[in-house]
């Protein structure tokens, strides 16, 4: 058995591809549409890990955003990552993208979310979160785009709530849980299974402001479990009030990576009448879950007429393949170790 294990080991390493280097990340993102979407997507989400500093990562993403002219998916993901990086230098660009009426609404939506994430964590005494909130409220009042209006209202509410909580003296609330994303609204602190029914009721209450419903949603995500997933999946398919809310539900289901959400996400992806941002997030979530059923659903929409959806399925399948390679490698290592120990 030990000899067989040694022979297998001699075949060389088998598993997922190595993470791109900083140089490779720069080449991929600055090449724009000359680089495949999957390559750019992977480079984008590795930029933070391989860049010499967060400032370097932010500078690269700022330079690369307009170069992704062929892909709403990539432009909006660049805006998302810039918000998560927390570099104040990105604020002018995100404001410009938000106000650019020629830009796709999904990219503008992500720029608004990024501004809120950046602003809530700004340590600069020169940054006026109330002023930005007023600008967002003004845009919400005048835009004809419902999803953009909802996003601006959410971002403004988050800024004002953060300002009231700490007078702008530090970072916004951070989830004390396994999730590290900077979220548009905080879940209930120290929530447990006991809080799930009330959080689900808040999420479902259409009379509440969207910001409050978001708090219920993130509480469900933070607690997790079958009941929480069922509540989130149900709202994904039954809500008719806000595509922004439904897209965020799909996003958190992807974060949770619970296989129980697969059917609801597949249904959301399959709805041609659903907003593209919802179908996009459903696809990305299915890629994170990565079950065979999830991959079947992604393959079915790999050539969707909505380019955002098609590209989302493409990168989601690549994500699923990446993590499956890791699982196979881990299983192979365990098998080799067992053979050596026998």
Q: Which residues are within 8 A (CB) of 41 and not within 5 positions of it... i.e. 6 or more apart?
A: 73, 74, 77, 315, 318
Binding residues for Fe cation: 76-77, 109-110, 247-248, 280-281
| pTM for this entry | 0.89
Report helix, strand or coil for 137: helix
Q: How confident is the model at residue 332 (pLDDT cuts 50, 70, 90)?
A: confident
Indicate the number of domains in the chain: 2
Domain final position from 172, 194, 222: 172
Q: Is residue 280 part of a domain?
A: yes
**Helices 210-223 and 243-256: angle between axes, nearest 10 degrees:** 10
Express each pLDDT in 146-195 by its tens digit.
Answer: 999 999 999 999 999 876 555 443 444 445 567 888 999 999 989 999 99
Same-domain pairing of 231 and 300: yes
Q: Which residues are within 8 A (CB) of 326 and not within 5 positions of it... i.e. 6 or more apart?
A: 15, 16
Binding residues: 76-77, 109-110, 247-248, 280-281
Same-domain pairing of 229 and 272: yes
Instruction: Give the structural domain span for 191.
Output: 183-342
CATH code, domain carrying 140: 1.25.10
CA distance 277 to 248: 9
* Other CB atoms within 10 A of residue 167 CB: 9
Express each pLDDT in 52-105 by its tens digit.
Answer: 999 999 999 999 999 999 999 999 999 999 999 999 999 999 999 999 999 999
């Amino acid at each position: 058995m030990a000899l067989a294990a040694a022979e297998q080991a001699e075949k060389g390493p088998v598993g997922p591809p190595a993470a791109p280097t900083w140089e490779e990340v720069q080449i991929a993102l600055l090449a724009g549409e000359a680089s495949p979407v999957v390559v750019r997507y992977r480079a984008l989400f590795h930029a933070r890990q391989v860049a010499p500093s967060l400032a370097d990562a932010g500078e690269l993403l700022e330079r690369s955003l307009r170069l992704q002219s062929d892909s709403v998916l990539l432009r909006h993901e660049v805006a998302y990552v810039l918000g998560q990086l927390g570099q104040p230098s990105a604020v002018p660009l995100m404001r410009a993208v938000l106000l650019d009426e020629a830009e796709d609404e999904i990219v503008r939506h992500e720029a608004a979310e990024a501004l809120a994430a950046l602003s809530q964590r700004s340590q600069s005494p020169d940054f006026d979160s109330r002023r930005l909130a007023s600008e967002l409220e003004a845009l919400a009042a005048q835009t004809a785009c419902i999803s953009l209006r909802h996003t601006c209202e959410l971002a403004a509410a988050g800024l004002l709530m953060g300002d009231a909580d700490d007078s702008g003296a530090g970072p916004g609330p951070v989830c004390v849980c396994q999730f590290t994303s900077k979220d548009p609204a905080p879940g209930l602190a120290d929530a447990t299974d006991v809080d799930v029914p009330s959080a689900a009721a808040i999420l479902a209450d259409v009379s509440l402001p969207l910001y409050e419903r978001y708090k219920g949603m993130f509480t469900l995500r933070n607690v997790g479990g079958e009941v929480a997933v069922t509540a989130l999946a149900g709202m994904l398919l039954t809500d008719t009030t806000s595509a922004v809310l439904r897209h965020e539900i799909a996003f958190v289901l992807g974060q949770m990576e619970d296989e129980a959400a697969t059917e609801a996400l597949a249904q959301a992806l399959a709805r041609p009448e659903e907003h593209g941002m919802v179908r996009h997030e459903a696809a990305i979530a299915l890629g994170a879950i990565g079950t065979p059923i999830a991959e079947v659903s992604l393959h079915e929409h790999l050539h969707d007429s909505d380019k955002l959806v098609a590209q989302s399925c493409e990168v989601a399948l690549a994500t699923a393949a990446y993590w499956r390679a890791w699982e196979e490698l881990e299983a192979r290592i365990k098998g080799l170790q067992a053979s050596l120990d026998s």
